[in-house]
Amino acid sequence: MLSYAIRRMLILIPMLIVISFFIYSGLELMPGDAVSYMIDPEAAAELAPEKLDALRDSLGLNDPFILRYFKWFGGVLKGDFGYSLSSGVPIRDIVFDRLPATLELSFIALVLSTMFGSILGFISAIRKGSIADNTLTVVGMLGVSVPQFVFGLVAILIFALKLKWLPVGGRLMPEYITYWDRFPHIIMPALVLAATMTAGVMRYSRSSMLDSMNKEYIKTARSKGLPEWRVNLVHGFRVALTPVIVLVGFRLPTLIGGAVVIEQIFQWPGIGNEFITAVRGQNFPLVMMIALFSVFAVLIASFLVDLFTAILDPRVKLG
C-alpha cells in the first residue's frame, strides 16, 4: 500500500508538468494578451503604441512563449506563484483569499448531496417500481437535466425576493461578526448546488444498488435467514457504495472549480468567479495557478478513489 502511494505521488510530478505546459500553450493560442484586455477598446486609439509596448515589457509579455513558461514554472518551483497582471497582488494572496469561500460552499454541497443522494438512491432501489421510486426517478431526471442557473434564479425569486427569508447573494457584510451572522448567505447557494449534485448521486446509487441486489451473495445472505434490513444495508448497500464513492471522489475537484455558475448567480466571491475573470483577462499567472490547483485536486482525488475502492471492495487489489 505504501509503495503504491509513493509511486502514485511520484507520477503526479511529470503529469503536473505536462498538463501545466498544455494549459500554458492553450492560453498562448488565445488572441490578444493581458494588456489588450486592460485597455478599453474605445480608448485604445488614444494611447501611444510605444507606451503599451513598454507596459507589455514591464509585465514580461514580450518575452518568447517558452521563456515565459519556464520563468513561470521556475517561480512555482521556488514557491513564488507570481503576481496578478491586472492588480499586482501576489497570487498566493488571491488564491488563499478566494479559496475558503469556494471550499465552504462546495464542501457543504458535496456532503449534503452525497448523503441525500445515497439515501434516496437506496430507497428508490429497494422500493423499485413504487410511487416513491417513480417520483424520485422523475425528480432525479429533473435535477440532472435542469441547469443550475435555473434552479438558482427560481430559488432567489422565491426565497429572497418573494418570501424574503434569505439574502439574494454575497457572502460577507460589514456588520457580520460571527459565522452565524453570515450563515443565511450560504443556505441558498449550497442547497441549490447540492440539489443538482444530489440528482446525479441518487441515480448512480439507485442503479448500483439494484445491480448489487441481484448478486449471488445477496441471495446467499437471504438464504442464511438474515433480516432484510441487514441484507440491504450491510451486504447490498455497502457494495453498492463503491461506484458512488468513485463518483463522489471524482467530484472532489469540484470543491475548487465546480461552483462557477452558482458563484456567479449568488455573487459568491469564490475561486471559480476569479478563474473566469482571469481567463477573460488573460491574466496567465493567475489562470495557471488556479488551473494547477484544480489539476492537482483531480489527481489527488483519483488517487483517493483508488484507495477507498480498495478499502470498500475486498475484490480490488492495489498494485
Partner 1 sequence: MGKLRLFLISCLMVTMAMGLWAGGQPEAETKTETKIEGLNSNPLSDYRVRQAIAYAVDMDTIAETLLEGKALVADSMVPNGPWKTPGLNAYSYNPEMAKQLLKEADWDANYTLDVVFYYGDQLTVDIMTAVQAYLSAVGVKMDFRKLEGDLGEQLWTNPSDPVNGPSYIKWDMAYAGSAALAMHEYYGKLPTNGPGNSHTPSDPEIDRLVAATKATANIVDQQNAFFELQKYVNKNLPLIPLYYQQLFIYESTRVNRNGGAYGNAQYKYDWNILNWSVTPDVSGKEVLYTNTAPVEFFQHPWFNPGIFMYSKVLFDSLLVADEALVAKEGQLASKFSVANDGMSISFTMNDAEWHDGSALTVEDVKWSVEYALQVPAIHSVFSTTFKSLEGAQAFIDGSADGISGLVIDGNTITFNFAKLDPNMMLTFSQFPPLPKKYFETADPLQFQQNSFWQNPVGSGPYKVQEVQMNDYTVMVPFESYYGGTPSIDEIVMYPSGENDGNVIKNASAGKLDYGFTKSVADVKSLEAMSNMRVTPVDIPYTRLFYVNKFPKP
Tell me: does residue 169 bind partner 1 (CB under 8 A).
yes
User: What does the alpha-carbon distance between residue 26 and residue 81 come to, in Å, rounded to a whole number?
Assistant: 19
Cell of 132: 416513491
Tell me: does residue 64 bind partner 1 (CB under 8 A).
no
End-to-end CA distance of the chain: 8
**Nearer Cβ to partner 1 (79/174):** 174
Single out the residue of 17, 47, 154, 233 in contact with partner 1 (rule: CB under 8 A): 47
Which distant-in-sequence residues (6+ apart) come within 8 Å of 215 by Cβ?
239
Tell me: does residue 83 bind partner 1 (CB under 8 A).
yes
Minimum distance between the CB of residue 48 and partner 1, rounded to whole angstroms?
8
Tell me: does residue 173 bind partner 1 (CB under 8 A).
yes
Choose the stretch contacting partner 1; rule: CB under 8 A; options: 14-22, 162-170, 232-240, 246-254. Answer: 162-170
**Locus of grid cell 467530484:** 251
Tell me: does residue 171 bind partner 1 (CB under 8 A).
yes
Single out the residue of 13, 43, 77, 131 in contact with partner 1 (rule: CB under 8 A): 43
Cα radius of gyration rounded to whole Å, the chain:
24
User: What does the alpha-carbon distance between residue 319 and residue 316 come to, in Å, rounded to a whole number?
Assistant: 10
Residues 2-31 that bind partner 1 (CB under 8 A): 30-31
Minimum distance between the CB of residue 99 and partner 1, rounded to whole angstroms?
12
What is the per-residue binding string for partner 1 in 95-124, x denoting contact by CB under 8 A? --xx--------------------------
Tell me: does residue 167 bind partner 1 (CB under 8 A).
yes
What is the per-residue binding string for partner 1 in 229-268, x denoting contact by CB under 8 A? -----------------------------------x--x-
The residues binding partner 1 (CB under 8 A) are 30-33, 36, 38-39, 41-48, 51-52, 54-55, 57-59, 83-89, 94, 97-98, 156, 160-161, 164, 167-174, 264, 267, 269, 273-274, 277
